[in-house]
Structure 1
Amino acid sequence: MLRFFRTIRQRLLSNNKFSSYLLYAIGEILLVVIGILIALQVNNWNEGRLERKEEVEVLKSVKKDLANTIKEFQYLNQIRDKVLYGTRGLFQAAGTDGVKGQELDSLIGLTFYRPTFNNKQGAITLLFTSGKINLIQNDSIRELLLSWPGLIDDMVEEEVFAVKLFQDSYYPALSKYVFLDGIIVTAMSTSFFGTITPEKRYSTLPIETDYNGLLADRDFLNHLRMRATHMQITKGETHDMILHANGIIALIDEEIGR
């Protein structure tokens, strides 16, 4: 092809047809420019196709992450409901005579659960650390994902505070009146997680739990009430995050399907 164009140029120059040669040269330049533009267009199209393919894979990974997180949130809220059941039961028992010790042990055992989010979100974490968030072209999806880490941090902060209050306040107030050996055995044998862990008493000491003293202690009842409050707060935050995550998943399905 190059030899063909070179032959034409030489023939025009040898015949002193300068004007024809000039037009030919301009035409040749235009052909080269057009060829370059076409090559660039093809290259851009190919890059766009590869970026779109990567974007779809990223969105699928994020969707899987969110689906797993929703399952964990639902599980954590089941635990919180059991803790709340225990706190309400103890308050009701505080104003009731003749409540059996084993029933109270079961209620106290429920208040020991400390649900916490494991915060393992590989795809979402990688999305931010690698800068791949910029691959997502859908503004709504990107904005919802950008707000996600802040929501997680708020919920985890509340969980950490609730655990600290349990360790520093609730448990000390409780341990003044109860002997945990019996409570632990009862709690383990009535597990609501679907697996019962065999547990035997560690002690045969004649130490009795003072249920009346416990349910009349103002400090204990105040800490019990705050424990319920923190469970309600984290349950509400988790519920809102489930809605948030489902909203992102719906947008991702729509984006992938277009």
Structure 2
Amino acid sequence: MIKLFRKIRQNLLIENQPGRQPNKTRKYLKYAVGEVILVVIGILIALWINNTYQDYKNSQLTNSFLLDFKRDLLADTRVLDKRIKTNETMVKNIDSIIIFFQTKKELTSKELHTFATYNLSIMYESYFIPEKSTLRQFESSNNNNLISSKLLKDKLFEYHTINDRNEKNMETSVQLYQHNFFTRDFMKLLAIKEFKMLMSGLTPALSQESLKKITLIEDYWVSLFQKKGLTENQNKNYSEVSLKAKEILKLIEAKLKK
């Protein structure tokens, strides 16, 4: 292109020499058009470079968000797996308490220790609060278009919506019940004289009569079965959330490999 303009300029100089008939208008027009084309090409190249750089920056930012989402989801799945195992143990311990009263006429010191351990274990409060740091950053950045996959965005939205619903409803209900009812009813068990004596080592076993007293603590048994039901329902929710988290992790891995 530059050679072409140089040639046109040389021709213009030659035509301006004495004795030659100039055809300046057409030559100047060619030169002007060429200059315009050069400017347009320069602008297009600049735009291409700018767009390429912007695409690179967006790609880097997208990968950064995806890696952060992956980190949060992995942390969530680890916590959920731990909560699920703890809750499964809690349900087994509640079943063991029930079996104690169905099959034992009295509890030896060793059995009472196990019985007390089971009761203490079900005092544990299990709850799950997901990691939301990346989600908040992503929403505040106004860069929702960085994640092009509609499926991935929908799954992320669904995941956090379910967690918000569980946190506001199920998790709050479990904690309120734990504080207001189960702890209080458990203390009624500890208030039984024979139970306190056995825990203090003053008597070697819990007699059938003492066991019968425990069975008559209606609030304790209601709380026990209620705790079992809430824990099983909680685990059902945790399993659902964990499954969705693992589905999203697969989608993120696929995007990162591209």
Structure 1 residue 132: deviation in Å? 4.1
Instruction: Return the letter of the residue paired with 1:248.
Output: I
Assess, with a 3 A threshold, how the Cα gap between structure 1 residues 132 and 92 changes in structure 2: closer, same or farther.
Answer: farther
Deviation at 1:255, TM superposition (A): 0.8
**Corresponding residue number in structure 2 for 1:107:** 118
Q: For residue 204 of structure 1, report the CA deviation from its aligned partner.
A: 9.1
**Letter in structure 2 aligned against 1:224:** L
Contact 1:155 1:238 in 2 (8 A): no
Aligned length: 235
User: For structure 1, which segment, 135-144 or 152-161, has the greater mean C-alpha deviation from structure 2 after superposition?
Assistant: 152-161
TM-score by length of 1: 0.79
- The 5 Å alignment of 1:29-48 reads 29-48=36-55
1:19-98 equivalences under 5 Å are 19-98=26-105
What SS does structure 1 have at the residue aligned with 2:128?
coil
Tell me if structure 1 keeps the 8 A contact 2:93–2:118: yes
1:97 Cα deviation after fit: 3.0
Amino acid across the alignment from 1:223: S
The answer to whether the 8 Å contact 1:73/1:117 transfers is yes
Residue of structure 2 in register with 1:194 after alignment: none
CA contact (8 A) 1:162 1:230 kept: yes
In the alignment, the residues of structure 2 paired with residue 176 and residue 140 of structure 1 have an alpha-carbon distance, to the nearest angstrom, of: 52
Equivalent runs, 1:70-219 vs 2, <5 Å: 70-100=77-107, 101-157=112-168, 158-179=170-191, 211-219=211-219
Q: Distance in 2 between matches of 1:146 and 1:28?
A: 53
The one-letter amino acid paired with 2:64 is E
- The change in CA–CA distance for 1:128 and 1:205 in structure 2 (over 3 A counts) is farther
Q: Is contact 2:188-2:220 (8 Å) kept?
A: no
In our comparison, the structure showing a higher alpha carbon Rg is 2
Q: TM-score, normalised by structure 2?
A: 0.79
1:161-195 deviation line (CA, Å, top 9, x unaligned): 11111111122222223149xx9xxxxxxxxxxxx
Residue 19 of structure 2 corresponds to which residue in structure 1? Answer: none
Q: Distance in 2 between matches of 1:22 and 1:83?
A: 90
Would you say the 8 A contact 2:93–2:122 is kept in 1?
A: yes
| CA–CA distance in structure 2, aligned partners of residues 107 and 131 of structure 1 | 50
Aligned in 2, Cα 1:205/1:150: closer, same or farther, shift over 3 Å?
A: farther
% identity of equivalent residues? 20
Matched to 1:98, the amino acid is K
1:233 partner letter: N
Given that residues 101 and 211 in structure 2 are in contact (C-alpha distance below 8 angstroms), is that contact kept between their aligned partners in structure 1? no
Q: Unpaired runs of 5+ in structure 1?
A: 184-200
Q: Which residue of 2 aligns with 1:244?
A: 244
